[in-house]
Amino acid sequence: MVDLAKDGNIQVGTTYYDYCSGDDDYHDRINLIKIRNDGSSVWDKKYGVSKIRLWLNKVRVIDNGDIIATGKYDSYSGGYHAASWIIKTDSAGNEKWYREFSLLNANGSWNFLNSVIPTNDTGFIACGYVYPILPDTGTQDSWVIKVDSLGCESPGNCWV
């Protein structure tokens, strides 16, 4: 994923594979890179611990130069399900916060956030979809969440 940085450089979002332990069982981290127009690197930073099949779906530079990104990974907490995340850094790539989001938690259910944008109140809105597997109920539906400037649903109510 790529966006233009406020300083004229190129902001890239990708994943960094730490290791692979078999067929389709890779472990990676969020990787943000700022690249000059001549192709040289300004900075290259990796975030968090390795997660199984981590995807980065969107990276965006917001008006103040900070970076917001979203994606998903495969969680094996209480059985397998896909969980989503949002990370925010400053323009130098220093992490401000990271939050994980799962509306559905049954074994096999999916929680995918595909995009995130800033809102007028300094918060963010992210969208994607959920796909329930029993005992989670419902159908595959759009999923939209609104968080504040710290990635919290409401004051004192931050997801994992």
Q: What is the pLDDT of residues 57-108, one digit of tens each?
A: 999 999 999 999 999 998 876 667 889 999 999 999 999 999 999 888 888 8
Identity of the residue numbered 128: G
Look at residue 19 and tell me whether its pLDDT is greater than 90. Answer: no
90-94, 128-132, 139-143 — most confident range: 90-94
| Segment (H or E) for 4 | strand 2-4
Burial 130-150 (b: 16+ CB within 10 A, else e): bbbeeebeeeeeebebebbee
Higher pLDDT, 134 or 79: 134
Lookup: tokens for 129: 């979809």
Structure confidence at residue 23 (pLDDT) = 66
Higher pLDDT, 139 or 40: 40
Structure confidence at residue 77 (pLDDT) = 67
Structure confidence at residue 24 (pLDDT) = 67
DSSP 160: -
From residue 8, alpha-carbon distances to 40, 66, 95, 137 in Å are: 13, 14, 21, 47
Question: Is 81:55 a contact under the CB 8 Å cutoff?
Answer: no
Count of CB atoms within 10 A of residue 121's CB? 9
Question: Is 67:53 a contact under the CB 8 Å cutoff?
Answer: no
DSSP 41: E
Structure confidence at residue 97 (pLDDT) = 96
Count of CB atoms within 10 A of residue 123's CB? 15
DSSP 113: E
Structure confidence at residue 85 (pLDDT) = 95
Structure confidence at residue 18 (pLDDT) = 84
Lookup: tokens for 5: 């940085």
